[in-house]
Chain A
Amino acid sequence: MTDWKRICPLDDIPRLGSRVVRRPGAEDIAIFRNADDEVFALHDKCPHKGGPLSQGIVHGRKVTCPLHGWNIGLEDGHAVAPDEGRCGRFEVKVEGGEVWLGV
């Protein structure tokens, strides 16, 4: 069963931006918000060289890694072709203006 954790109000994440969620003893998670207020959650680690995706530019349903410009799909964590690789994704939802993360 998914364990839902309340993260923050949706408005604490900028549109076309992201926030980092830190968990003790586990890797950081990046939560993204796109222009349509959809939210997505991925491991904050690019499959290429481990760049922090949370620091990238969000566009459509993609984020561009700040280190070498790989594009990662926010829905599935897959690198956009011709690059290959994927990063872990997490369940995330918005309810009552609050962002919830499934870990």
Chain B
Amino acid sequence: MKKMKLVLVGNGMAGVRTIEELLKLAPDLYDITVFGAEPHGNYNRILLSPVLAGEMTLPEIMLNDLDWYRDNGITLHAGRKVVKIDRVRRKVLAGDGSEADYDRLLLATGSTPFIPPIPGNELPGVLGYRDIADTEAMIEAAGKYRHAVVIGAGLLGLEAANGLMLRGMDVTVVHLGEWIMERQLDKAAADMLQASLEAKGMKFLLARQTEALLPARNAQGDMAERVGAVRFKDGMEIPADLVVVAAGIRPNYALAESAGLYCGGGRVRGIHVSDTLQTVTDPRIYAVGECVAHRGVAYGLVAPLFEQGKVCANHLANFGIGRYEGSVTSTKLKVTGIDVFSAGDFGGGPGTEEIVLHDKQGGVYKRVVLKDDRIVGSVLYGDTADGSWYFQLMKDRQSVAEIRDHLMFGQNRLGDAGHKGENRAASMPDTAEVCGCNGVCKGTIVKAIKEQGLFTLDEVKKHTKAASSCGSCTGLVEQILASTVGGAYQAVSANDKPVCACTEHSHKVVREAIFKHHLTSKEAVFDTLNWKTPNGCDKCRPAVNYYLISSWPHEAKDDPQSRFINERAHANIQKDGTYSVVPRMWGGLTTPSELRAIADAAEKYQVPTVKVTGGQRIDLLGVKKEDLPAIWADLNAAGMVSGHAYGKSIRTVKTCVGAEHCRFGTQLAMDMGVKLEKMLFDMYAPHKVKLAVSGCPRNCAEAGIKDVGVIGVDSGYELYVGGNGGIKTEVAQFLCKVGSDEEVMEYAGAFLQLYREEGWYLERTVHWLNRVGLDYVKSQVVEDGDNRRRLHARLLDALKDARDPWQTSREGAAVKQFIPIQVEA
């Protein structure tokens, strides 16, 4: 079949990103031709500021060099500007006379700096700030001249001013507004930002209107052919050898308009496109990027353009799914050492409330604007670590009523281990360790983002390994990414994040599909949901396997090859490839004969380390895999079974001695703990599950940091849920109070079953609770008695034929996996 012809006009970030997305989906559908007015490949425009500041060089910011076009069979006409679109003959014509036919046309003509109509704006030395040529002209001027004036104190203007200042110029920023960055910041944050820029040497003239740009005079007093000064309406004049105008951008739609494509009128101008990124006039013609007006909005930041590109590519590939419904944007200033973040509507107004935290001396300002218990905007200065969190809450329209009292202290307010509680990404030195698990410093992350052209958190994780182990530094890594790429960073909402690279679908969609379509095998899931890989990967297969067996117990067959090795081998793999063995001790109780059997096994199998665990068990570390079946047989013979210390499953129920022995005890904590642990034996869950039972409020079993914590009081038990003592210490929240042991079993069981049925794989109870809200869980488990009993019954049914996995694994064919095949040398 003859390939269709696709022509891209505009070789910038939006257009080329669309082509990249298209090549991923349909690599062979089109013959692709690209026209670009600039004589380069595609470069990362947002990193022009670091180039200007001397922090990076041009080769470092190339995203697609000329080889990329060649390798992908794309014809590139660099340095050729398209001047005409002939929609009847379906061809485009460039200024040098070259032509190209198209079946589909993609316009990504970008924008141009807006130069206000003031006298003198045509003088040499007056520049917009848009491309490599502008940047080079600014660098050249900085080498020759002294005085620079930047008109416009928006994002781009301040970045330009900062760059010129770092190149040694004396820079004055002139602004029409009362305060700088007034579209992104409120006055309080802007004042703080201005003060810190002034401390670096930048000068400001606010609320000034420029009247004229005046030519310089040469030694003879004649007018020279270059700008020399700026005059304001109030008569003031300042010297200016270079004037950078950063007073906004205008979409480039003249080419489209001349071809008869509707480009609007009045305030919103730009190539008008529908939610499929097709021009409203001609469905063969698509448009993305800054040249576009979508639902009355023209975007000037990179993140929305990438979202547009993704949808556009999907339609170009004839998939026909996905709609672009507009973007919520956030802003970060890329000035080294300064942390500013803003998002949404922070202007306030009727019906809004605001929460402000302002430490002027400490240099921290945070303002969150709420409407109907939801975040509608935020401005952060100084401490911006929670910018992504606020942004995500805003995008997801999640109610913050329950967390309002600690909202301002951020997501990671407590016990966030591994990076010394650092929360100012931009002001951290390059040598500071960000990821304590993998020893990754800030400088390494910044370098990878810049050199490899990374835009997403996942890419950063893959390339640097930062935030890829325990994840406690994720917020910090996100901040570093955001401050390095600025507007190109878009926080992805966990709700619609794909499970992995094998699929577009989120955990939510996969879970629901398995239930709705009664899917009972991974093949059926991959088939129904159009998985991109034949048998998934190490991320999605365990998740899908869990969803199958938890949705359809006794019906869906467990697939051992979709489980992580620990759950396949029923032991924990160690760094040297040996395993650890933890026999179950119900409620943390043991007997002399069990201890004797453990001691015998440890000696017989030459176990190098014997350790007591945090969950009141004994761990035998350093067992060879081929010895596992035999050591289990010995422990089974002494009446012990698997302790599941290796699984996304019930781990332990920790207990205090309770009223059995303790003089303060009010309830039989050990007895209660044993009963709970027996009920939950062999229960798999989205993640590990730990319980504790304390016999009185002194809480010696530490029930406050368990997934389910039970605290005995004189009149019954208090139940707490969603605690966590790991990466991030989370205190369990009070669920309800009950009177009897039977009720503890029913409520705890129902809570865990709800988590098992609705939690996403690898989501601990606390994360699930944060996502769905404690109120929802109470409504299902506490307030609705019938539902609670049904949940509890489903749990008991799922576990009705639970068997000791040690015993089943050492019998029959299953034992083969443990035995190496010996061959002669």
Contacts and interface: CB of A to CB of B under 8 A. Distances in A.
Interface of A: 5, 7-8, 12, 14-17, 19-26, 28, 34-35, 49-52, 55-60, 62, 64, 66-69, 71, 82, 101, 103
Most chain A CB within 10 A, of B533, B564, B820, is at B820
Nearest to A65: B538
B258 interface: no
A59 B535 contact: yes
Given A7-B823, A22-B822, A56 B565 contact: yes
Given A25-B825, A64-B537, A12 B816 contact: yes
A67 B824 CA distance: 29
Contacts of B534: 35, 60
Contacts of A67: 573, 575
Nearest to A31: B821
A55 B569 contact: yes
B272 interface: no
A60 B565 contact: no
Contact of A14 (B462, B561, B575): B561
Contacts of B816: 12, 19
A72 B215 CA distance: 65
Given A55-B568, A59-B535, 8 more contacts: A12-B821, A14-B561, A17-B560, A19-B817, A21-B822, A22-B821, A59-B538, A69-B538
Contact of A59 (B541, B566, B822): B541
B464 to A, nearest CB: 9
Nearest to B816: A12
A76 B816 CA distance: 27
Contact of A57 (B463, B538, B577, B823): B538
B687 to A, nearest CB: 17
Dominant secondary structure of chain A at its interface with chain B: loop
Interface in B560-589: 560-562, 564-566, 568-569, 573, 575, 577
Contacts of B568: 55
Contacts of A16: 535, 561-562
A31 B193 CA distance: 60
Contact of B535 (A35, A68, A82): A35
B479 to A, nearest CB: 22
A101 B823 contact: yes
B541 A21 contact: no
Contacts of B573: 52, 55, 66-67
A49 to B, nearest CB: 7
B538 A56 contact: yes
Given A5-B823, A66-B565, A17 B538 contact: no
B536 interface: yes
Given A12-B816, A22-B822, A64 B538 contact: yes
Interface in B531-547: 533-538, 541-542
Contacts of A17: 560-561, 817
A52 B561 contact: no
A34 B469 CA distance: 27
B825 A57 contact: no
B818 to A, nearest CB: 10
B574 to A, nearest CB: 9
A21 B823 contact: yes
Contact of B817 (A8, A14, A52): A14
B529 to A, nearest CB: 16
Contacts of B565: 55-57, 66
Question: Which of A5, A20, A21, A59 counts the most chain B CB atoms within 10 A?
Answer: A59
Given A19-B820, A28-B820, A57-B541, A51 B825 contact: no
Query: Which 8 A-B residue pairs are closest in the complex by CB-CB distance?
Result: A64-B538, A16-B561, A55-B565, A57-B538, A22-B820, A20-B820, A52-B577, A66-B565
A24 B825 contact: yes
B241 to A, nearest CB: 45
A59 B821 contact: no
Contacts of A71: 538
A83 to B, nearest CB: 8
A20 B816 CA distance: 10
A72 to B, nearest CB: 11
Contacts of A56: 538, 565
Nearest to A12: B816
Contacts of A35: 534-535
A8 B822 CA distance: 10
A69 B565 CA distance: 12
Contacts of B569: 55
B613 to A, nearest CB: 21
Nearest to A18: B817
B568 to A, nearest CB: 8
Contacts of B463: 82
Nearest to A19: B821
A57 B540 CA distance: 11
12 contacts: A14-B560, A49-B575, A50-B577, A52-B577, A55-B569, A55-B577, A56-B565, A57-B565, A59-B533, A64-B537, A64-B538, A66-B564
A37 to B, nearest CB: 13
B456 to A, nearest CB: 14
A79 to B, nearest CB: 12
Contacts of A51: 575, 577
A48 to B, nearest CB: 10
Interface in B769-825: 816-817, 820-825
Given A17-B817, A28-B820, A57 B575 contact: no
A20 to B, nearest CB: 4
Nearest to B566: A66
Interface in B350-398: none
Contacts of A101: 823
Contacts of A103: 823
